[in-house]
Amino acid sequence: MAVSGSRPRAREAGVVLGTLPPGPENTITDVAGVRVGHVTLIEGDGPLVPGQGPVRTGVTVILPHEGNVFREKVPAGIFVLNGFGKCLGQEQIDELGVIESPIALTGTMNVGVVADGLVEHAIRTNPDIGITTSTVNPVVGECSDAYLNDMQGRHVRQEHVLEAIAAASPGLVAEGCVGAGTGMSLFGFKGGIGTASRRLPERLGGYTVGALVLGNFGRRDQLTIAGVPVGRELAGWRPDAAPEPPESGSVMVILATDAPMLDRALRRLARRAALGLARTGSIAGHGSGDYIIAFSNAVRIPHEPSERVLTLPHIVEDGALIDGLFQAAVEATEEAVINALFAATTMTGRDGHVRYALPLDETLAILRRAGVVR
């Protein structure tokens, strides 16, 4: 199980999404070698003082493998479902088809300082960068935490990025109001980080696809769980009289796999994650930045190849295997979003703004009436 405090994950509560089985932890780290780290920043209360607080933000990093990602790059592809966002590093990934830094997620106004942290980490681990070898392409994705956080303060610093990288580990992944998810909202409730995985049967190679989402999108009436319009049923749920703010959110989805795939096939895989978002009720609204990054750590691209021609493994893109990987991406993304909702807890931010946690008792009662909770 992932780390989600006292609140159960969707599957633990009896909500089974899709038909493929999850990996051992049902997280992106079920793809061997992948590590995740968070730094969470929570400070102050009361009225917004621009540049000072209150602070409700953080950073999350995903390391594609246990080695030096700059020296051993991984194939990657990006799909932009709706481009109202600031995904740093996208153009070079599109051009070269590889990732060469940890992937960092954060709040919108923190992108520049987080990129600086990734560059600092790359230089520390590769002192020849920018001197006798090429520069590095830091990869940073973002969502807006403006409703709860003092965005102008850009409170994530270089040292927080380095701390998150140092803390990154395999196994359990904290979810909900942690790291980049600290100030996020999801379907009118508290949102944040969620993760899940799917494993193909041995006859298809036993490959794993893991998803990690930074969920910050959707109106309450759109929320759908296991095909049930839960959000409509919860439309009148209000612990206070505060109106629901309009939806204008975003999402970052990171897909990892141990199936040998190169960038073109990974872009195909990334596109399928959008179907998983749609299953939860996402419409990729006008003001939404929806980015999906997929990578495979089964293939390593050396920074300084010893040969002029590389021979790299790649799955056959036909038949049950590729379809199984597509299904895994859809299901893992869907469950990761719902896990983010289940894990997140109520949070009060700047100016007394409150994002309430999804009411689990009421939600599970709706799902039981619909016959989808085991």
Q: Which residues are annotated as catalytic?
A: 250, 288, 290
Inter-residue contact 186 to 340 (CB < 8 Å): yes
Q: Which two tokens stand for residue 123?
A: 């230089």
Contact present, 7 and 177 (Cβ < 8 Å): no
Q: What is the DSSP string of 10-56?
A: TTTTTB--SSSPP-SSSSGGGSTT-EEEEEEEEE--SS-BTTTB-EE
Per DSSP bridges, beta strands 289-296 and 139-143 are unpaired
The partner residues of 209 in beta bridges, in order of sequence, read 198, 257
DSSP state of 188: T
| Number of alpha carbons in the 13 Å side-chain half-sphere of residue 209 | 33
CB-based contacts of 246: which residues, under 8 Å, 6+ apart? none
Q: Which helix (H) or strand (E) holds 214?
A: strand 208-216
Residue 294: its H or E element = strand 289-296
Task: Report how far residue 288's alpha carbon sits from residue 108's, in angstroms, rounded to the nearest whole number.
Answer: 12
